[in-house]
């Protein structure tokens, strides 16, 4: 039986690097894979960008109202016509930006189509609240794996602090892609509470 895997972590925990490595491992053994990511992530457009410098274009982008199963089937057929090989695995980057329904589709792809799905994403937003895609994946994935990274203090980072012009902020929209003004720092719980003055999820 094919399974749905969710590999999650804080920002900068190497999720895109791990995804690209997993794709490489499949292909090295002669298997075909499809790579996808939600359209809401504007960082790098159609590219999966690893912090180690590896860049690779996705096979398809998932729009907010797309049925992932239909889009996957379409691209699976296109790829098979081109290469003569069926898809062995679907890899999804930035899976936190999927809707809850789209995360359900990933489970259907694994269970009904029999294709393993590896989804990578950030667990929680800058207010320590789960992203919709991540919440659903934590509920339904067969396998959960935490990708770890380190806080500036050396403890394991579990939260994502948002900074604007170098200052931590704890109010704002859930999605603000990092760029010129907005950046993120992976923090452990202790450092997060120090910066927020004890606030979690907008509350003391
Ligand atoms: Zn810390």
Q: Quick one: 67 and 128 in the same domain?
A: yes
Q: Quick one: 38 and 134 in the same domain?
A: yes
Domain that holds residue 43: 4-146
Q: Quick one: 174 and 129 in the same domain?
A: no
Half-sphere exposure of 118 (CA within 13 A, CB side): 19
Q: Quick one: 84 and 172 in the same domain?
A: no
Q: Quick one: 173 and 95 in the same domain?
A: no
Question: 175 to each of 12, 47, 92, 94, 104, how far by Cα in Å?
Answer: 16, 19, 18, 12, 21
Place of tokens 């062995």: 88
Q: Two tokens at 130? A: 């789960």
Q: Quick one: 89 and 169 in the same domain?
A: no
The whole-number pLDDT of residue 43 equals 61
* Ligand 1 center–CA 86 separation, angstroms: 45
Q: Residue 41: pLDDT above 70?
A: no
Binding-site residues, please? 175-179, 184
For the stretch 48-58, pLDDT in tens is 988 888 999 99
Domain count for the chain, please give it. Answer: 2
Mean pLDDT of 35-60: 86
Identify each DSSP E strand in 50-181 by its residue range.
55-57, 60-62, 87-92, 117-122, 143-147, 159-164, 167-169
pLDDT band of residue 202 (cuts 50, 70, 90) is confident
Does 37 fall in a domain?
yes
Does 153 fall in a domain?
no
Q: Looking at per-residue confidence, does 54 or 105 come out higher?
A: 105
The whole-number pLDDT of residue 181 equals 83
The whole-number pLDDT of residue 178 equals 67
Average pLDDT of the chain, as a whole number: 94
Q: Quick one: 68 and 167 in the same domain?
A: no
* Ligand 1 center–CA 203 separation, angstroms: 20
For the stretch 148-172, pLDDT in tens is 999 999 999 999 999 998 899 998 8
* Ligand 1 center–CA 96 separation, angstroms: 23
Which of 164, 92, 172, 189 shows the shortest CA–CA distance to 134? 92
**What residues act catalytically?**
94
* Ligand 1 center–CA 150 separation, angstroms: 8
* Ligand 1 center–CA 168 separation, angstroms: 14
Q: Two tokens at 117? A: 């799905």
Q: Residue 177: pLDDT above 80?
A: no
Residue 162: is it exposed, middle or buried by C-beta count within 10 angstroms (0-12/13-18/19+)? buried
Chain mean position to CA 95: 4
H helix or E strand, kind and range, residue 40: none
The whole-number pLDDT of residue 175 equals 86
* Ligand 1 center–CA 193 separation, angstroms: 9
Binding-site residues for substrate, please? 175-179, 184
Give the percent of the chain with pLDDT over 90.
83
Q: Residue 179: pLDDT above 80?
A: no
pLDDT band of residue 45 (cuts 50, 70, 90) is confident
What CATH number is associated with residue 74?
3.40.50.300
Using the CB atoms, write b or e for 17-39: b if 16+ within 10 Å.
Answer: bbbbebbeebeeeeebbbbbbbe
Q: Residue 136: pLDDT above 70?
A: yes
């Amino acid at each position: 039986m094919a399974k749905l895997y969710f590999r999650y972590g804080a920002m900068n925990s190497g999720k895109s690097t791990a995804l690209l490595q997993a794709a490489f491992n499949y292909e090295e053994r002669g298997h075909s894979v499809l790579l996808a990511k939600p359209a809401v992530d504007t960082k790098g457009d159609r590219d999966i960008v690893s912090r180690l410098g590896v860049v690779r274009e996705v096979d398809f982008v998932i729009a907010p109202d797309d049925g992932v199963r239909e889009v996957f089937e379409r691209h699976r057929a296109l790829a098979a016509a081109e290469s003569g090989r069926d898809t062995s695995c679907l890899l999804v980057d930035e899976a936190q930006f999927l809707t809850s329904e789209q995360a359900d589709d990933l489970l259907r792809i694994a269970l009904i189509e029999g294709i393993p799905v590896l989804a990578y994403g950030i667990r929680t937003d800058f207010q320590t609240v789960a992203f919709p895609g991540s919440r659903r994946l934590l509920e339904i994935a067969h396998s959960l794996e935490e990708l770890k990274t380190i806080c500036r203090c050396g403890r394991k980072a579990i939260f994502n602090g948002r900074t604007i012009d170098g200052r931590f902020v704890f109010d704002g929209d859930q999605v603000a892609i990092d760029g010129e003004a907005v950046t993120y720092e992976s923090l452990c719980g202790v450092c997060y509470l120090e910066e927020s003055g004890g606030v979690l999820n907008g509350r003391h």
